[in-house]
Structure 1
Amino acid sequence: MELRWRVSHLPTAWMSLLRWRLCKIMAAIVPKKDAPGVDLCGTDQYYYIVRSDVGCYMRSTNFNKGEDLDVFSLHPACSNGDHYLAYDDDLFYIIKGTSFRCVSDIGTDEGAIVCSLHPSCQGGDHYFSAFGNFYIVYQNQGVYRRTKNMTTYKDGIEYSLHPDCKDALYYYGIKDCYYFVRPHEEWGVQYYRCTNFNTNESGQASSFHPSVINFLPGGLGLTHGPSAGVWTCIKTIKNDSQNHTTWSNKVPVTQGFDKEKLSPIENNWNISASLPVETGLSALLTKSQFSLAPTYGGSNVNTDGENWKLTTIEETISVLLEPGKEAYVWQYQLSLGSDAVLFCRDLRFDDPNKPPVVIPLPPAKH
């Protein structure tokens, strides 16, 4: 690629200030209502985070301590569910619309059967299982329903949600209790153990381990800092002569994802070989983070068209410089916190008094 422009003067001191201001944008875990295909569930032994948006799920024996963090691929037939819940030790339910798929393994789709949801079990905001029952939370109505069977609504009954349990991001259960996840507060992202959402009995709080937060949607914005897109000057060319001069040369340009800056997030994960990820799971999670709204520490951009393998290429740049003037080559970069991690393909010159203002990436589809 060859770039040709006539340029004059461009100040650069504002760049660090802009990056600092952008990194002050708040970050947060994305709630269930804004995270299609994402859910939490549990059995007697394990807790699960399903990330259908990146095609995998995490299994752990302890979210608070970050123990036994195994990541597996999600079977295509079990993807894109509206809700995910686990029942006892060996059954998973994937709810889509007015039906559910019951399997013994969401990684293999083993033993799959499909059944209809009873009308009284449809349209819930959250689903989970505990104590041999199924629970459907209607968050906006401030109620939840309990039943022995989601097809027949056996022994169905409705309760009011306790005020402390209404504003949860996620609800999930295990054999003998259930949990709700509260938004980020003074002590971080907390989940509360409970035995009765009607009275908020117990209400024991625990924090998520950072390695678990990294896997939650929006989590990278909390552990590493919100994302930001910034035009960064990567080359300055100056004409010190008294004549117009054409400068032409090849300039090495870094493109792609610098996974070394984020590879430590995978150090505490046991990643299954079944995950077909060439650039690493961290790349998928970072791409998802960039697509989020700024409310959740994202930049609301689609980076599918970018190169996600880190490489250095040579760009041929030809510039006509006026006497005593400088040329600035700008590259669009996406950062998490203060670290640039994705070096985009776009190189530009712009108005001599400021860098480009256009965002060269398409908006994310939500």
Structure 2
Amino acid sequence: MLPVLLLALPAFLWREGTVQGIDDYYYIIRSDLGLYMRSTNFHEVKDIHIFTLHNSVRGGDHYLSHKDDLFYIIKGDSYRRVTNLNKDSAAVVYTLHPNCRKGDHYFSAGDYFYIIFKAKRIVRRVTNMHEDTRARTFPIHSALKNGLYYWGTASWTYCVKGSNKWGVKYQRTTNFEKNTNPITYSFHGDVVNFLPGGVAVTFGKSFSLWQRVSVIVNEASTNVTQEYSITRKVGYVKEKTKTIERNWKVSASATVGTGELALLLVQAQFSLETSFGGSNVDTTSEPWSAAIEITDKITFTVSSKQSIYVWQYKMGLGKEDILYSHTALAFTNTAVPPAFNPYEPAKK
């Protein structure tokens, strides 16, 4: 029997990633990036590869793998079954049985598919999600009810409860219903970076603010109009995040190259809600070119005995500045920074 691992995502992250495994490999799927990670060990970080996710299997609400060596992508009230996530091979679509719809989490372990309904605090277990075969319902164990991720293998089930001061941990149990023989493991940092919200675990939560880059003062008794030089840094400070993909091998078929993955993951981190260490903004309108120093020539009329404060928007992770905006400049007459956010809210 092949070991099978599956991870379903919480709330708004459903469409952004999942973890699963078949045979000798384990997978993290980032549907939002159109990529997935494959590794032979998430705890010891062995043999990490990055592949492109086929367009036909992107945008799923949940992703599963099962002992039949197939992948299942649930979207709405139906699911797509394929043999290869990169090629969409042998694709077949089935409807979900009404009793198997609208679950909050889906995972597979052993012979069964498990569906968690959080509001009802119950788990439905079936051998076939289309026919609702051999269905059984039981209460979810109190120790497992608040999991962010769930998956299973032939012999165990797993639950991730989120990050704490010791990092991202997951609990393994031999019986999901009874939570028997629980053991806790940690994800390796190189794996955490590929999980939704994982960049914030490694580098710190994202921040954004207006930084004052210049003050123009007119001490004369008359108004002054002239051109001023404003020197500032713009772009992406990529050396701050280059360690993200240090142990990853990018497949030749992947749509991104080495160095681009870190950029995509940082963009995605900025787009997440604050509860997952993000800023809930869309920064894809920025060029994201390498950071350089530039000088702008701007003409101002400064009133007598007044000042103009020049502000630039920047974003970062933890204590490190990561992105200096090219276009987000603002001007005020006081030392109080602007109150608006120049970026559009992230799309969910």
* TM-score, reference length from structure 2: 0.89
Instruction: Tell me how many residue pairs correspond in the alignment.
Output: 337
CA 1:56–1:232: 2 relative to 1, 3 Å: same
Contact 1:266 1:282 in 2 (8 A): yes
Equivalence for 2:5 = none
Verify the 8 A CA contact 1:255 1:307 in the aligned structure 2.
no
Letter in 1 for 2:281: V
Letter in 1 for 2:282: N
Q: Which has the higher contact order (CA 8 A, sep 6+)?
A: 1
Q: Distance in 1 between matches of 2:103 and 2:75?
A: 11
Name which of structure 1's ranges 205-214 and 41-50 shifts more when overlaid on structure 2: 41-50
Amino acid at match of 2:203: H
How has the CA–CA distance of structure 1 residues 186 and 140 changed in structure 2, closer, same or farther, with 3 Å as cutoff?
A: farther
1:333: which partner in 2? Answer: 314
Identity of aligned residues (%): 41
Shift of 1:277: 3.0
With the length of structure 1 as denominator, give the TM-score of the two structures.
Answer: 0.85
Aligned to 1:21: none
One-letter code aligned to 1:365? K
Query: Which runs of structure 2 are paired with 1:166-245 in the superposition (5 Å)?
Result: 166-237=145-216, 245=224
Structure ranking higher in strand proportion: 2
Deviation at 1:237, TM superposition (A): 4.5
- Could you tell me which of 328, 334, 347 is aligned with 1:352? 334
Q: Per-residue deviation at 1:350?
A: 0.9
Find the counterpart in structure 2 of residue 133 from structure 1. 112
Task: Kindly state the Cα deviation for residue 177 of structure 1 after the two structures are TM-superposed.
Answer: 1.7
The 1:310/1:91 distance shift into structure 2, 3 A limit, reads same
Provide the residue aligned with 2:261 in structure 1: 281
Aligned to 1:111: 90
Equivalent residue, structure 2, for 1:77: 56
Distance between the aligned counterparts of 1:271 and 1:151, measured in 2? Answer: 36
Kept after mapping to 2: 8 A contact 1:81/1:96: yes
Is the 8 Å Cα contact of residues 43 and 89 (structure 1) preserved in structure 2? no
**Contact kept in structure 2, 1:41 and 1:174, CA below 8 Å:** no
Q: Distance in 1 between matches of 2:273 and 2:100?
A: 31
Aligned partners of 1:231 and 1:332 also within 8 Å: yes
1:93 corresponds to which letter in structure 2? Y
1:95-106 matches, cutoff 5 A: 95-106=74-85
Deviations 1:68-119 (A, max 9, x none): 2221111110101111011126310001122111111111111111112222
Q: Equivalents in 2 of 1:332, 1:192: separation in Å?
A: 41
Q: Please show how residues 118-157 of structure 1 align to structure 2 within 5 Å.
A: 118-157=97-136
Computed over aligned residues only, the root mean square deviation of the Cα atoms, in angstroms, reads 2.3
Q: Is 1:34 aligned to 2:4, yes or no? A: no
Cα distance in 1 for partners of 2:198, 2:49 equals: 17
- Corresponding residue for residue 26 of structure 2: 47
Provide the residue aligned with 1:315 in structure 2: 296
Q: Detail structure 1 runs of 4+ shifted over 6 Å in the superposition.
A: 240-243
Cα deviation, 1:317-356, whole Å, max 9, x if unaligned, reads 2234467765442110011111111111211211323122
Distance 2:208 2:342 in 1: 10
- Residues in 2 aligned to 1:183 and 1:150: alpha-carbon distance in whole angstroms: 28
Q: Which shows bigger deviation, 191-200 or 268-277?
A: 268-277
3-state SS of paired residue (2:265): helix
Deviation per residue, 1:3-31 (Å, 9 max, x gap): xxxxxxxxxxxxxxxxxxxxxxxxxxx95
Residue 293 (structure 1) aligned with residue 273 (structure 2): yes
CA–CA distance in structure 1, aligned partners of residues 235 and 254 of structure 2: 21
Distance 1:233 1:89 in 2: 59
Structure 1's 134 and 36: CA in aligned 2 closer, same or farther, altered over 3 A? closer
In structure 2, relative to structure 1, the CA distance for the partners of 1:156 and 1:337 (3 Å cut) is same
SS state at 1:163 partner: coil
Which sits farther off after the overlay, 179-188 or 270-279?
A: 270-279
2:156–2:173: 8 Å Cα contact kept in structure 1? yes
**Gapped regions of structure 2 (runs ≥ 5):** 1-7
CA contact (8 A) 1:246 1:318 kept: yes
User: How far apart are the structure 1 equivalents of 2:196 and 2:297?
Assistant: 39
Which residue of 2 is the match for residue 25 of structure 1?
none
The 2-side partners of 1:275 and 1:239 are apart by 55
Distance in 2, matches of 1:67 and 1:120, equals: 39
Gaps of 5+ in 1: 1-29
How far off is 1:244 after superposition?
5.3
